[in-house]
Amino acid sequence: MPVLFDRLLKLKEMFNSKFGSIPKFYVRAPGRVNIIGEHIDYCGYSVLPMAVEQDMLIAVEPVKTQTLQLANTNPLYPDFSTSANNIQIDKTKPLWHNYFLCGFKGIQEHFGLSNLSGMNCLVDGNIPPSSGLSSSSALVCCAGLVTLTVLGMNLSKVELAEICAKSERYIGTEGGGMDQSISFLAEEGTAKLIEFSPLRATDVKLPSGAVFVIANSCVEMNKAATSHFNIRVMECRLAAKLLAKYRGLQWDKVLRLEEVQAKLGVSLEEMLWITEDALHPEPYSPEEVCRCLGISLQELRTQILSPNTQDVLIFKLYQRAKHVYSEATRVLRFKKICEEAPDNTVQLLGELMNQSHTSCRDLCECSCPELDQLVDICRKFGAQGSRLTGAGWGGCTVSLVPADKLTSFLANVHEAYYQRSDRNVTSEKQSLFATKPGGGALVFLEAQTM
């Protein structure tokens, strides 16, 4: 907390310098690292993240005008102001302030409010941007909690998480809700199994003899700025529909792969066999998808696909379904091993993480050469398991490292990946660090920071 206290004091000074007044309160929302369960939350399956110590902080002062004034401590992010009652979010430009507007608009629409008063906000974040540690979702969550606090209203953490997950889609990302859920539901000292429909979180005690280490590939990937992420969401949606039709279900009502399993009442292992029977490994064209479902191209594009995936020419349905059903199995095995805590717990968890990366690389195809190289380096220098974390195509890896090897691991990975390249490492602490489960979103009143 001393570091956070110092940041709050500094933020207060900067706020005063910027707006000529003192903030009334501060809101904190953490980033997260997903230990295992990649690209499956939007398919309805459980994931296993933990909050990290890095976070978004916002200093806030409600004002009597209807102007929303946003500023950022990072000079790369320009000031922005708009009317609190005319929120426009441009999906074509994932600018930093649009993530704040997502959270603001989500709360506004949830309560059906109009004629809102404005506020002055100064944002400070120490989550590396576009790193797969959920800086954008942390900002959405922070903004949602800011807005709720200004309004003097109350919601449960689960309700807040669900609203913020839904409202982040205003920016065009078809996410599943993991990032927002862990940002609100996280607790210090424990990872969480996050389950959906209904949203709930269960403690998962991580092994004491090992440490999770995050390493940044230094390849930035903003999932709202490209179509990669949404293409995976749509491929999984189409796979779910084809599997449902193959088994005689009402496919047009099905959106997620988990729904197919639930409606059939079979195991994840059986779903892998059904995928083998129902889908072929060769990519599907839009025309073939239409033939399988008995719909027109126009119906496919306007009724099923998202706006930035309507011109995609191939869909790898078999590979995506295989990844999702196998990854969902690995999440449940990971939790079970943590609960049973056998003598070789760290080795078993590491193997699951390695299998996860292989699946992400080969079946989901969301890795990149730098992430693969970094994973190999981490394993070479002592990680029992290492995998990409977050959406992929850049960002970070997470590695499970025996505690007695941590010092040498950090030194060796730093030399092998960062020093032997011309990678722009602005801060070693932001690029390679051990982490432990942190707490969730909080509100600090000004009196508490004095």
User: What does the pLDDT read at residue 429?
Assistant: 58
pLDDT tens readout for residues 169-191: 898 888 888 999 999 999 999 99
User: Would you give the distance in Å from CA 368 to the centre of its chain?
Assistant: 18
Segment 405-417, tens digit of pLDDT: 999 999 999 999 9
pLDDT at site 450: 38
Residue 447 CB contacts under 8 Å (≥ 6 apart), including other chains: none
- Helix or strand run (H / E) with residue 183: helix 178-185
Q: pLDDT by residue (tens digit) across 57-106?
A: 999 999 999 999 999 999 999 999 999 998 999 887 779 999 999 999 99
**390 contact partners, CB below 8 Å, separation of at least 6:** 34, 38, 131, 132, 133, 134, 396
Strand-by-strand arrangement of the 80-83 sheet: 80-83, 67-72, 119-125, 48-62, 25-36, 442-445
CA–CA distance, 175 with 149 (Å, rounded to integer): 25
Task: Return the closest-CA partner of residue 177 out of 335, 44, 321.
Answer: 44
pLDDT score for 2: 64
Of how many residues is the chain composed? Answer: 450
Residues 197-244: tens digit of each pLDDT: 899 999 999 999 999 999 999 988 765 557 899 999 999 999 999 999
Its pTM stands at 0.92
The 3-class SS string of 61-128 reads EECCCCEEEEEECCCCCCCEEEECCCCCCCCCCCCHHHHHHHHHHHHHHHCCCCCCCCEEEEEEECCC
Tokens of 325: 């059903």
> Which pLDDT score is estimated for 128?
83
Catalytically active residues are 179
Structure confidence at residue 172 (pLDDT): 82
Q: What angle do CA 449, 13, 188 make, to 5 degrees?
A: 40
pLDDT at 267: 98
Give domain 1-204+438-445's CATH architecture.
2-Layer Sandwich (3.30)
pLDDT for residue 449 is more than 50: no
Residue 448 pLDDT exceeds 50: no
